[in-house]
Amino acid sequence: MRVSPAALDAIKQHAEEGYPHEICGLLLGPRGSGRVTEAARARNTNVDRPNDRYEIDPSDMLRIQRAADDNGLDVLGYYHSHPDHPARPSRTDADAAWAGPLYLIVSCERGKVVDANAFIAQEDRGPFRDEPLELA
């Protein structure tokens, strides 16, 4: 998956600002391009376990989807952080995954992003396959 450096930088900044909690958002790109050019922040509404779980605020999801549509953008996927854990999908991530969208995970150790990886669920609820990230 092609991801603009600016979009990846925005995700990293969001993760570092949100540490030690998981952060989340949507990945957007020009309609039909298959290239992520924007990272739209969403609120993590998980109040019970915000350090190792995320739930995208439904109102944020709807607002971002509508704005993307109005601006000729596709929702290409979702991103979130793993504070002090690897940038690999967890069982919880798989349980909530839909087949098709890109899932980008950044590892944020002690407040600094150290890794980023992308995945696509092969079917709803996983398993995931690695998706190479190409900065472009």
Tell me the catalytic residues.
Answer: 22
Q: Where are the beta strands (DSSP E) in 4-110?
A: 24-30, 35-36, 38-42, 73-83, 102-109
Token pair of 113 as six digits:
């992003």
Assess contact for 107 and 114: CB atoms under 8 A. Answer: yes
Place of tokens 């609120």: 43
- Phi/psi region, residue 76 (left: phi>0; alpha: psi -120 to 50; beta: rest), is alpha
Token pair of 10 as six digits:
């925005």
